[in-house]
Structure 1
Amino acid sequence: MKQIQSPQNPLIKSLLLLQEKAKARKQSGTFLIEGQREITLALQGGYQLETVLFVPEMIATTSLQSQVPQSVTWIEISREVYQKLAYRDTTEGIIAVAKMQNHELETLILPQNPLLLVAEAIEKPGNLGALLRTADAVGADAVVIANPKTDLYNPNIVRSSVGCLFTNSIATGTSAEVISFLQQKNIAIYSATLQNANAYHENDYTGPTALVVGTEATGLTEAWREAATQNIIIPMSGTIDSMNVSVAAAILLFEAKRQRGFT
């Protein structure tokens, strides 16, 4: 088995670029996954691994080795190398190099009566990671990111989603493309906005439904307000008129699941 002891190794330098640069990830079509649970979820989600790097004294790889295809290269690395690569404060001693998946709208496979979360122009990776966790928790059929403002494989998204990047069906596109896609599929659009809206719990989400949320700062663009089957609002009693986007999404999604009987 190959061993790497120095952070100056050319392979390690290339992996550091994957952590730091969206351009490097795009050019190579690969990204890093840190942690045994996340790697396991990626494998379950159909992601292909190229390489697994691990620190022998930090992790027992036996259970994971049985899940990883034999074609994947395993490399022993030193603690020094791992600490250079690791993105999280709490470490497990294992990192994988994985191939990105295709997230075009045309690849999205939906059930007969889908429940979708659509998020427009979310800028903060942490918020996007939290949205993916929320979608996984509620069992949404897909997450669609309209007008994406951050690289889906940003290490902070991988980290903050705690592996839910791999458990959700995810597609991306412009707002115009996503709206057209939803209309063609006869999926009702419920846009969370302050303008011309009724209370979210007054609507019926038992049919094909897309719940659409935007940024906390500017909200949804006009295109979503105009395309909506119904604009919806979460009534609030405080001074401010907005909340964290993942919290808003959770409220809407769990109401939809309540109406559907949590199936």
Structure 2
Amino acid sequence: MEIRRISSARNDRVRHWRKLGTRKGRDEYGSLLIEGITLLEEAVRAGWSVRALIVPEEGLEVLKRLPTLEGVPVYSLLDSTFNQVVETQAPQGIAAEVGMALERGPFQPDADTKVLLLDAIQDPGNLGAILRTAEAAGVRDIWLGSGTVDPYNPKVVRSAMGSLFRSRIRRVDLKKAIPELKELGYTVVGTSPRGKDVHFDFRYPERVAVLLGNEGKGISSAIGALADTNVRIPMPGIVESLNVSVTAGILLYEIVRQSGDSR
């Protein structure tokens, strides 16, 4: 394995990797940085393209613990430079540049494919938790409407804990995407404290798209008007709302319960 040593923090590769810490940079280059062996292994298993490995000069032994990655260049950085490239305060000894994998082709669902629609979810931790919960509930198709945080934001990547790599994520205009889903036979179910049905009384069809809204404002009126129905989650306690990632878990697992899928 050839290791390419970089001694200057002003090196073009270092500048490139630092740009990947921004959404503009990620979109420009079509790649992102991930940190740690666990996330790297998850990305490789999911078939993501690894473009470069980055290690600190004093931690080269970490390379012995990596999966086999033929032809991937390895760069060694001074520890101080490595710490400038990575996002976390306690770097895990390795970072990797991987190619982003947004879904771009036409949506071709199976009979029971569920879809999760997110309208302006802004908190990276919430989106990461939603991705992980959705995968656990068997929902891989996640459509992100306008105003939703970048799914490749480092905080989203860390909180999703690998689920990002196995999700089929699309950035969409929900005003166009929802009618298209309806044409495919989907029922779009939103949430509202004034919803007609309690969430566990509503019978979710095989083709269902669950619509969740912004942490503070909920689903926008323009998007909410496109839903076929709204369900409500009973809250006997004295609270006004639930965290959106908790709401996602409650609704998605009710769908799991109704489907009888206990795998």
TM-score by length of 1: 0.90
- Pair 1:134 & 2:137 matched: no
Deviation at 1:5, TM superposition (A): 3.2
Name the residue aligned to 2:224: 225
Name the residue aligned to 1:112: 111
- Report the 3-state secondary structure (helix = DSSP H, G, I; strand = E; otherwise coil) of the residue aligned with 2:74: strand
- Report the 3-state secondary structure (helix = DSSP H, G, I; strand = E; otherwise coil) of the residue aligned with 2:62: coil
Q: What do the CA deviations read for 1:5-29 (whole angstroms, capped 9, x no partner)?
A: 332322112211211x221221112
Deviation at 1:63, TM superposition (A): 4.2
- The answer (yes or no) to whether the contact 1:206–1:259 under 8 Å persists in 2 is no
Name the residue aligned to 1:61: 63
Structure 2 residue runs without a partner (length 5+): none
Give the direction of change, closer, same or farther, for the CA distance of 1:177–1:109 in structure 2 (3 Å limit). Answer: same
Deviation at 1:260, TM superposition (A): 1.1
Deviation at 1:219, TM superposition (A): 0.8
- Pair 1:30 & 2:28 matched: no
- The answer (yes or no) to whether the contact 1:175–1:223 under 8 Å persists in 2 is no
Return the alpha-carbon distance in structure 2 between the equivalents of residues 149 and 248 of structure 1. 17
Q: What do the CA deviations read for 1:11-63 (whole angstroms, capped 9, x no partner)?
A: 112211211x2212211122111111111222222321211112365353234
Structure 1 residue runs without a partner (length 5+): none
- Identity, % of aligned positions: 28
Name the residue aligned to 1:94: 94
Matches within 5 A, 1:48-197: 48-55=49-56, 57-58=58-59, 59-66=61-68, 68=69, 70-104=70-104, 106-197=105-196
RMSD: 2.0
Residue 4 of structure 2 aligns to which amino acid in structure 1? Answer: K
Give the direction of change, closer, same or farther, for the CA distance of 1:141–1:163 in structure 2 (3 Å limit). Answer: closer
Return the alpha-carbon distance in structure 1 between the equivalents of residues 256 and 166 of structure 2. 18
Return the alpha-carbon distance in structure 2 between the equivalents of residues 54 and 196 of structure 1. 52
Name the residue aligned to 1:11: 13
Residue 74 of structure 1 aligns to which amino acid in structure 2? Answer: V
Name the residue aligned to 1:46: 47
Return the alpha-carbon distance in structure 2 between the equivalents of residues 187 and 232 of structure 1. 16
Name the residue aligned to 1:256: 255
- Report the 3-state secondary structure (helix = DSSP H, G, I; strand = E; otherwise coil) of the residue aligned with 2:33: strand
Deviation at 1:93, TM superposition (A): 0.9
Return the alpha-carbon distance in structure 2 between the equivalents of residues 252 and 180 of structure 1. 22
Name the residue aligned to 2:238: 239
Residue 35 of structure 1 aligns to which amino acid in structure 2? Answer: G
